[in-house]
Structure 1
Amino acid sequence: MDPFRRAQIILLCDLCKTAHLQSHCERCDINLCQTCVGKHLSDSSIRHKVVLYKYRKSLNYSTCPDHADELCKHYCEKCDIPVCSTCVSSGKHKDHDMSDILEKLSAKTESLQKDLDELETRIYPRYEEMASGVQTEKVELEKNYGKLTTIADQHGELLHREITAIVNQRKSDIQEMKIKHLSTLNKNTEEITQKMAELKQIMSDLKSILKSNDVSLTSTYKPRNSEFRTLPPKVRVTLPSLSAQKINKDQLNEMFGSLTPLSINTEHGDTVKSAEAVSSPPVKPLLDDPRLTAAIDTGYKYLYSVSCLSEDQVWTCGNNNTMKLLTLQSELLISIQTKSGNYPRDIAVTRDGDLVYTDYRDKTINLIKNKQIQTVITLQGWIPRYVCCTAANDLLATMASDDYKQYKVLRYSGSTEKQSIQFDDQGRPLYSSGVYISENRNLDICVADTSAVVVVNQSGKLRFRYTGHPSNTKQSFDPRGITTDSQSHILTADPHNHRIHIVDQDGQFLRYIHCHLRYPLGLCVDIRDNLFVAERDTAKVKKIQYL
C-alpha cells in the first residue's frame, strides 16, 4: 500500500497541491513532491535542508500568547521573543527587526551545543580534578599526621615518666589540628560537590532542551557557563611540624619541641577559560636563516644544561657542583652549590621563578627558593635524571632504575607523585634511556630517548616516535636536549651532527638549525621564542632567533 494513502488520507505537495508528497524541507517547514524539490532548491538565497518525509523532524512551535490559533514562526530581535504572523503584521512590532524562527533555532541550538560541550569537556573535568586532588590530600593526611604522632612517641620514650604529661599534651594538639584540617578539607569537598551537582543538572537540562527541539525553551535559554568558569576556592593547609630539641630535665617542656600552628589559606579559584578565550598564539613562521644573537661564557669545563629565568638571564649547570645565574653579557648574578656537593644532573625553572635540580647520586629532586635549598622528593630504587616544569606548575622527571634496566617518567605536584608513564598499550617499555624532557603547548610529554624522540599525550598514551631525518646525517641520530615553543614545535639537540632538529607537534620534520653549533646539549626557549643552546665542549650558551 502507498504509505501516503493509509486510512484513506492523501498527503499532497504544499507547492503544486496535486502530486503526492515525498520530501520535507526542515528549513522552510513545507512538504514537497519529487518534481517540486528541484524547483524549491533553486532558490539559493536560503540554505534549505530537504529530507525524506518519513525522516523529517517534528518542530514544536509555541502558541502565540496573544493569538491562540497562531503558531510563533517568526522571531522579534528587539523584543527577543518568538512571535506569530499576526503579531508581525500588527503595529505591536513595528520597525522591529524580524528573523525566521528556524534561523534563530539553528543559531540557538548551536549555542546550546557549544555550552554543553564546554561544560562536559572543559569545566566539569576541572571540578572532577579538584575533587580528586582534595581526596588525595585527605589520603595523605593520615600518613603525614601519623608521622607527627610517631615523632612525638619517640621523644616521649626517651624522656620516660618525666615527660609523659607533655607527650600526651602534644598528641592531643596534633589530633586537634588533624580534626580541624580534615574538617576544612571536607568543607572544601562539599562546596566542590555542590557545584558539580549544579553542573550535572544544567547539563541534563541542556540535553533535554536539545532533545525536545522545543522552540520556546531553546529561545529563552540563558547560559550560565560564565558563572561556573570561576572555580571554587581551593583550600591549602600547611602541615604543622614538630621541632625536637635536646633533652634537658629542667627545661623539658621547652626542649621537647612545639608544633607550628596549623595554617589554612583559601586561594581564589582559578577561572577556566572559555573555548573562545583559548585562542591560538600569533603565527610565527620559521626563519630561513636562524641568527645567533648572543653567546654567554659560563666558565665550566663542560656545560650540560640551561634554563631561562627571563629573556636576558639564564641558569646553567655543568661539570661541577655549582649552578650559575648569568646575564647575556656573561655576568655572574648568583652562584649556588648543591646541598650534597654532587654534580646536578639537570635544572629547570618553575613558573614562580624558583630553580629545581636533580641529584642522581643521592636520588633527590631539590628546590632552590630565596637561595635556600629544600629537598622535595627522595627516591628509593629509582634515580632521577632530567626534569622540566609544566604549564600547571607540576614537575616531570625522567627516571632510571638502580640497575639502569628500566626507565619511566614521573609527574609530581609538590612532593606528591601524580602520574607514572612507563609502558605502551601492549605493555612494552616506552623508553630505553629517557634523558631530557619537555612538555609541549598541547600538553604532550616529549622525551629525548636513545635514537628517537618519544612523544606521549597528557594521559601517557604513545603518539609517535621521531627517529630523525635521513638528509645528510654523518652520525646516527642520538637526541639530547629538548624543548618546545609557542607554535608547539619540538626542538631537539643532535650533538653528534652539531645541529638542532625542528619538528611539528605531530612529528613531521620542518628544518634544521646549524648556526655553527659545537656539540649542543641542553635547550630552552624564553617567552619570546628565543632559543638558548648549551654547548658542551665550548661551555657557551648561545641565544638564537629562529622564528
Structure 2
Amino acid sequence: MHPRRSAQEVLLCDLCETVPLQSHCELCNINLCKACVGEHLSDSSKKHHVMPYLQRKSTPNYPKCLKHVEKHCELHCENCDIPVCIKCVSSGKHEGHKLSEFLEKLSAKTQNLQKDLEELETRIYPRYEEMASSIQTEKADIETNYGKLTTAAEKEGEILHREITAIVNQRKSAIQEMKNKHLSTLNKNTEEITQKMAELKQIISDLKSILKSNDVSLTSTYKSRNSEFRTLPSKVRVTFPSFTPQKINKDQFNEMFGSLSPLSINTEHGDTMKSAKAVSFPPVKPLLDEPRLTATIDTGYRELYSVSCLSEDQVWTRGNNKTIKLLNLQSKLLTSIKTKSGYWPRDITVTRDGDLVYTDSSNNTVNLIKNKKLQTVITLQGWSPRFVCCTVVNDLLVIMISDDKQSKVVRYSGSTEKQSIQFDGQGRPLYSSGYNYKYISENRNLDICVADFDASAVVVVNQSGKLRFRYTGHPSNTKQSFTPVGITTDSQSHILTADHNNDRIHILDQDGQFLRYIHCDLRAPFGLCVDIRDNLFVAECYTAKVKKIQYL
C-alpha cells in the first residue's frame, strides 16, 4: 500500500498529491481535490463524470499499459482490439483507428459476461448436474442389475444340474435294472443245475444200494438215465453292458447353458445440451394418465372368473360351467373345450407354445389341451390344484390346497415337481389357509406374485421362494377393504391386481409401490391377463364381459 493511502493518513488528491481529496471522476477513476476538479474538467476530449468522493461507485482498475508502464489504459482501439493509454494515442500508432472509452467497452463485455453467467447457471450447469445424477442412479442400480444376471446364471446352472442329475439317476436306475435281471437269470440257471445235481446224487445213491443188495428184482427193474444226464444243462452267458461317455463339446455346452449379451457402452456426440448416457437401456413405456377401453367381449356365461390371452385378439375364458371358450374381440366363439370330468375348471392359462392348461379340483388334476387332444399331466393325492400360470421357461406354477386347507405354490416342468413354496424363513405359512381365490402370476424379474383373497394381500416371493413383500392396498378412501382376486404382470414388471369389491385395478411396481388405479367403469373385476403388447384384459364376474384396456 502507498504510504499516503494508509489508514493513519488523510487521503490526498491524485493530481496535486498535497490537498485532501473531495471528489472522484468515475470515468478516469481518479480522486480530486476542489481546486483540481476545474483543471480536470478542462479536458474536453472526454465526458468526465465527477461526483463527491463518498458517492462514488465501485470502479474497475484500468489495466496498465504494456508500453508505458506509468500509464493506465483508458481507451480501447477497436481496430487493434487492444486497450491503449493516452501516450499510445498521441504516438500516432493508432491514427485513424476507432477509439472507444474503455468503460464503454468494459460495459459491453460485462453484459456478455452476465449472459455467459446466466447460461452457465440456468442451462448448462443443471444439465451437468442431471448427467451426474443419472450416472449416480445407474451406479446405484449396478448391484441390483448385475445381481439379477448372476441369479439368472445360477438359476440356469441349477436347472442344468437338475437335468444332469435326472439323467444320471435314469442311467443308474437302468444299470440297477440290468444288474437285477442279470442276477435273476444266473439264479434261475443255478437253480436248474442244482436240481439236476440233486437228482444225480439220488440216482448214484440208489445204484450203490442196488449193487449192495441181494434183491434180484431191483437189478432187473433198473433203467439207466445216464443218457439223459450226458446232455448238460444250458449255461446262460451274459455279456456285461458297457458305458460309453459322450465327448463333451465345450462350445456346444456353453450354448446350451445360455448366452450373455455383451456390455454395450456408447458415447453420444453432437448436441452438448443432451444428456449422454454411457449404457443404453430399452425404452420405458409410461403409464397413460387416463386408461382407455378399446373393446368389450360378451362371453355368454352367467358368471365369469378367468381370462387368458392366446393372442392380441383372441382370449380363452372360463366361467360357471364345464365349457372353456375361445373368443375373439367381436365376441365370436372360435373354439370350445369341455372338461373331462364334467365339472367347472378351477383356472386356465396358456403355455408359451399356445396350448391351453386347466386345473380341475374335482379329480385333482392339471390338464393340457394340445392339438385339440386332452391329456392329464399332473394328478395329485391329498392336494387340490386351484390356480395356475405359465412361466417364461414354460414351467407351470400351481397354487394348491391340502385336505386340511394348507396352501402352497408348486413349480412343475411337464409332470415333474421342481419346487415347492409354502413357508417363510421363520417357518410361517406364506399364504392363508382356506379354499378362496389365490390367482398367481410370474413377473419379468422372475418374482412369483399371488393375490391372496383371504389375506387381503398380494404376496410376492422371489424365484427361490423368499418373501420380498406383501401389498395390502393403498391407504386411499375405499368403499370396502382391499379384495385382490385376479393378478397379472406386464413387460415393465408392473404388477396388476383386481380389487373386486372396489371395482378397480391396482398397478404396482415390481417392489410393491403403488402407482395408480385403473377404473374404466369396471364392475366386479375378477380374472386378469396381459397380451404381448401390454393390453390388459379384465374378466368382469357378474356382467360376464371381458374388457380390453390400454393403460401404457
Pair 1:543-2:548 in alignment? yes
Structure-2 residue corresponding to 1:291: 292
Structure 2 distance, partners of 1:452, 1:504, is: 15
Structure 1 distance, partners of 2:356, 2:508, is: 28
1:515 counterpart letter in structure 2: C
1:446 counterpart letter in structure 2: C
1:124 is displaced (CA, Å) by 6.9
Change in 2 beyond 3 A, CA 1:122/1:398: closer
Query: In the alignment, is the contact (CA less than 8 A) between 1:358 and 1:365 conserved in 2?
Result: yes
Pair 1:442-2:438 in alignment? no
What are the equivalent positions in structure 2 for 1:127-146 lying under 5 Å apart?
127-139=157-169
TM-score using structure 2 length: 0.55
2:160 aligns to what SS in structure 1?
A: helix
Structure-1 residue corresponding to 2:254: 231
Structure 2 distance, partners of 1:142, 1:322, is: 45
Change in 2 beyond 3 A, CA 1:417/1:515: same
Structure-1 residue corresponding to 2:394: 393
1:231 aligns to what SS in structure 2?
A: helix
Task: Deviation per CA, 1:372-414: give whole Å up to 9, x if none.
Answer: 011000011111110000011111011111121x110000111
Change in 2 beyond 3 A, CA 1:132/1:504: same
Structure-2 residue corresponding to 1:461: 466
1:136 is displaced (CA, Å) by 2.3
Pair 1:302-2:303 in alignment? yes
Task: Deviation per CA, 1:209-264: give whole Å up to 9, x if none.
Answer: xxxxxxxxxxxxxxxxxx68x7355xxxxxxxxxxxxxxxxxxxxxxxxxxxxxxx
Structure-2 residue corresponding to 1:342: 343
Structure-2 residue corresponding to 1:426: 426
Structure 1 distance, partners of 2:421, 2:549, is: 32
1:299 counterpart letter in structure 2: G
Structure 1 distance, partners of 2:338, 2:280, is: 42
Change in 2 beyond 3 A, CA 1:122/1:432: closer
Structure 2 distance, partners of 1:124, 1:528, is: 30
1:294 aligns to what SS in structure 2?
A: strand
Change in 2 beyond 3 A, CA 1:122/1:318: closer
2:284 counterpart letter in structure 1: V
Structure 2 distance, partners of 1:407, 1:364, is: 16
What are the equivalent positions in structure 2 for 1:310-329 lying under 5 Å apart?
310-329=311-330
2:348 counterpart letter in structure 1: I
- The gaps in structure 2 that reach 5 residues or longer are 1-141, 178-237, 266-278
1:289 is displaced (CA, Å) by 0.9
Task: Deviation per CA, 1:38-68: give whole Å up to 9, x if none.
Answer: xxxxxxxxxxxxxxxxxxxxxxxxxxxxxxx
1:130 aligns to what SS in structure 2?
A: helix
Structure 1 distance, partners of 2:258, 2:352, is: 16
Structure-2 residue corresponding to 1:14: none
Structure 2 distance, partners of 1:313, 1:336, is: 15
1:134 aligns to what SS in structure 2?
A: helix
Instruction: Give the ranges of 4+ consecutive aligned residues of structure 1 lying more than 2 Å apart after TM superposition.
Output: 116-129, 136-147, 230-233, 269-282
Query: In the alignment, is the contact (CA less than 8 A) between 1:281 and 1:486 conserved in 2?
Result: no
Query: In the alignment, is the contact (CA less than 8 A) between 1:422 and 1:431 conserved in 2?
Result: yes
1:310 aligns to what SS in structure 2?
A: coil
2:164 aligns to what SS in structure 1?
A: helix
Provide the identity percentage: 69
Task: Deviation per CA, 1:54-85: give whole Å up to 9, x if none.
Answer: xxxxxxxxxxxxxxxxxxxxxxxxxxxxxxxx
Structure 1 distance, partners of 2:283, 2:428, is: 39
Query: In the alignment, is the contact (CA less than 8 A) between 1:118 and 1:275 conserved in 2?
Result: no
Change in 2 beyond 3 A, CA 1:362/1:511: same
Structure-2 residue corresponding to 1:164: none
Structure 1 distance, partners of 2:461, 2:147, is: 25
Query: In the alignment, is the contact (CA less than 8 A) between 1:122 and 1:272 conserved in 2?
Result: no
Change in 2 beyond 3 A, CA 1:137/1:528: same
Query: In the alignment, is the contact (CA less than 8 A) between 1:314 and 1:326 conserved in 2?
Result: yes
Pair 1:373-2:403 in alignment? no
Query: In the alignment, is the contact (CA less than 8 A) between 1:447 and 1:453 conserved in 2?
Result: yes
2:484 aligns to what SS in structure 1?
A: coil
Query: In the alignment, is the contact (CA less than 8 A) between 1:231 and 1:272 conserved in 2?
Result: no
1:273 is displaced (CA, Å) by 4.0
User: How large is the Cα RMSD of the aligned pairs?
Assistant: 3.4
Change in 2 beyond 3 A, CA 1:423/1:128: closer
2:511 counterpart letter in structure 1: D
2:485 aligns to what SS in structure 1?
A: coil
Task: Deviation per CA, 1:10-46: give whole Å up to 9, x if none.
Answer: xxxxxxxxxxxxxxxxxxxxxxxxxxxxxxxxxxxxx
Change in 2 beyond 3 A, CA 1:279/1:361: farther
What are the equivalent positions in structure 2 for 1:43-442 lying under 5 Å apart?
126-139=156-169, 187=246, 191=248, 195=250, 231-233=254-256, 270-274=258-262, 276=264, 280-404=281-405, 406-433=406-433, 435-442=438-445
Structure 1 distance, partners of 2:472, 2:536, is: 22
Query: In the alignment, is the contact (CA less than 8 A) between 1:502 and 1:511 conserved in 2?
Result: yes
Structure-2 residue corresponding to 1:245: none
Structure-2 residue corresponding to 1:471: 476
1:286 is displaced (CA, Å) by 0.8
- The gaps in structure 1 that reach 5 residues or longer are 1-112, 148-174, 196-226, 234-268
Change in 2 beyond 3 A, CA 1:122/1:484: closer
1:138 is displaced (CA, Å) by 3.8
Query: In the alignment, is the contact (CA less than 8 A) between 1:491 and 1:500 conserved in 2?
Result: yes
Task: Deviation per CA, 1:472-498: give whole Å up to 9, x if none.
Answer: 111111201000001110000011111
Task: Deviation per CA, 1:449-493: give whole Å up to 9, x if none.
Answer: 120000000100000000001211111112010000011100000
Q: 2:536 aligns with which of 520, 525, 531?
A: 531
TM-score using structure 1 length: 0.56
What are the equivalent positions in structure 2 for 1:30-41 lying under 5 Å apart?
none
Query: In the alignment, is the contact (CA less than 8 A) between 1:387 and 1:396 conserved in 2?
Result: yes
2:509 counterpart letter in structure 1: D
2:321 aligns to what SS in structure 1?
A: coil
Structure-2 residue corresponding to 1:263: none
2:320 counterpart letter in structure 1: N
| Paired residue total | 334
Task: Deviation per CA, 1:88-123: give whole Å up to 9, x if none.
Answer: xxxxxxxxxxxxxxxxxxxxxxxxx99x99997665
Structure 2 distance, partners of 1:463, 1:313, is: 34
Structure 2 distance, partners of 1:412, 1:536, is: 29
Structure 2 distance, partners of 1:479, 1:381, is: 27
2:341 aligns to what SS in structure 1?
A: coil
Structure 2 distance, partners of 1:531, 1:410, is: 26
Structure-2 residue corresponding to 1:95: none
Q: Which moved more, 1:274-283 or 1:357-366?
A: 274-283
1:482 counterpart letter in structure 2: I
Structure 2 distance, partners of 1:391, 1:139, is: 27
Q: Which moved more, 1:324-333 or 1:278-287?
A: 278-287
Structure 2 distance, partners of 1:338, 1:146, is: 41
Q: Rg bigger for which structure?
A: 2
